[in-house]
Amino acid sequence: MYSCTECQKCFLTKTYLTRHMNIHSGRHKCSECGKSYCFKGGLALHSRIHTGEKPFECSVCGKRFTDAGHLKRHSRIHSGEKPYKCLLCDKAFSESGNLTVHGRIHSGEKPYKCRLCDEAFSRSVHLTIHMRVHTGEKPHKCSVCDKSFGTSIHLQRHELRIHGDVRPHSCFYCGKQFAIDGDLKCHIRVHIGAKPYSCSHCSESFTWHGQLKEHLLKSHCEGAWFTCYICQKKFSCKDHLKKHMQRHEGVKPYVCDECPKRFYRACELKCHQPVHSDYRQFCCFLCDAQFKRKYELKKH
């Protein structure tokens, strides 16, 4: 074994140690930020962060990348290639990292733990988002209704679901339309009976992650309830408690574009909006009567 005199790191061969010493010698050091590399190629690749150079271009969509590896992984989006397959289910992925993250659904592993509470997460990005619960940070603001969100994805979904008129994703089974592809995929579970969320303590499986979380609380005492200090009602999710508290506080953040009515929840606003339209999307297959809302069809 060969040991570095600077950081005590050990190497199997003298060649590896020599390459490593380039970091300490500053031979391949970035003039912009001072970061050092073992190889000249590593420094060249890093320098593109500062120059903005992206020499590798996708021949299909024109998107550019800093290195060939990123382009190769991106190209799988167009080819549909998914070489990394889960051994426990039928899912496959274009990147090994995505398979590793997916595997935590089966193992229940949550390596990213919040230092301020007992919450733990399977992905680092989920921990980053969760930390905004403690800090109160909501950097992404809706330009229509001024509602703020912790992530750009949540803002985008809000704008599509609440303010968007286009719903390009239709359910093959019932024809229901969705603004977001992910919402359609979740909805299809209702028709095919898919239950991807499995309990690590027993044989129970669930359609939704929230159902699994509630099951763990009720049946295995895993996790913590979120309790309303006014009426003592318990919730398995902090967001559900937050929405519940709005009713006690009288906060109605969802405003109709057509009239002054306000609502506690997005789904209530969505249910109200057909009042201002003549479109009747729900049709009775027995008498051809048409209705604006699904519950009106069920009542009929």
* Cα 225 to Cα 39: distance, rounded to the nearest angstrom: 52
What is the percentage of the chain residues whose pLDDT exceeds 70? 100
Measured between its terminal Cα atoms, the distance across the chain in Å is: 80
Q: Which of 276, 264, 253 is closest to 165 using CA atoms?
A: 276
Looking at residue 293, its amino acid is R
Q: Retrieve residue 100's tokens.
A: 């590793």
Residue 206 has what pLDDT?
92
Chain segment 244-261, per-residue pLDDT in tens: 888 888 888 888 888 889
* Cα 4 to Cα 46: distance, rounded to the nearest angstrom: 24
156: confidence class by pLDDT, cuts 50, 70, 90: confident
Mean pLDDT of the chain: 85
User: Quick one: which H or E segment has residue 43?
Assistant: helix 40-51
Residue 295 has what pLDDT?
79
* Cα 147 to Cα 158: distance, rounded to the nearest angstrom: 9
Tell me: pLDDT of 202 over 90: yes
Going along the chain from its start, the domains and CATH numbers come out as: 2-38 (no CATH), 195-249 (3.30.160), 254-299 (3.30.160.60)
Judge contact between 97 and 73, C-beta under 8 A.
no
8: confidence class by pLDDT, cuts 50, 70, 90: confident
Tell me: pLDDT of 146 over 80: no
Looking at residue 113, its amino acid is K
Judge contact between 213 and 224, C-beta under 8 A.
no
Tell me: pLDDT of 151 over 90: no
pLDDT (mean) for 90-106: 88
Chain segment 223-247, per-residue pLDDT in tens: 888 899 999 998 888 888 888 888 8
* Cα 228 to Cα 122: distance, rounded to the nearest angstrom: 27
Residue 188 has what pLDDT?
92
pLDDT (mean) for 178-188: 87
Put simply, whether the predicted model's pTM sits higher than 0.85 gets the answer no
